[in-house]
Amino acid sequence: MSTRPARTLETFPNPNPERDYRIHMRIPEFTCLCPKTGQPDFAVLTLDYIPDRLCVELKSLKLYIWSYRDAGAFHEAVTNRILDDLVTATQPRFMRLTARFHVRGGIFTNVVAEHRQPGWRPAPSVELAGFEAEPNTRD
């Protein structure tokens, strides 16, 4: 197999750095190992960010996420590490990583970690009456 997991995150220049816009990614196949039992943990990751000068390249993100498949990690630690690595690579204006782990021992775990660039403030939200997102774009 020529494609292998990697901890390298590649970036490309933001094509519209003059504008705040949201990039939303849903990563439904995240896996890592429980550091106590060695059993697999499964999660859906949701990444939302407002880029500054750089955006994360998707293939490198896929290989980066794949690199956790055989790694032991607590939910809280792995969520924060992924966020830290993404922030280091892209230096976004804002980034939020939500990790929704599947049930283990009767407990669902959701971990939400955020980063805000110092001094950055979001623009006020605009609500459009009667507008609904397309069904396949919802979280």
Q: Annotated active-site positions, please? A: 34, 41
- How far, in Å, CA of 109 to CA of 42, rounded? 11
- DSSP H or E run through 93: none
Where does the chain have alpha helices with state H? 58-66, 75-90
CB–CB of 109/129 below 8 Å? Answer: no
Question: Which CA distances in Å does 87 have to 74, 91, 96, 126, 135?
Answer: 20, 5, 10, 27, 30
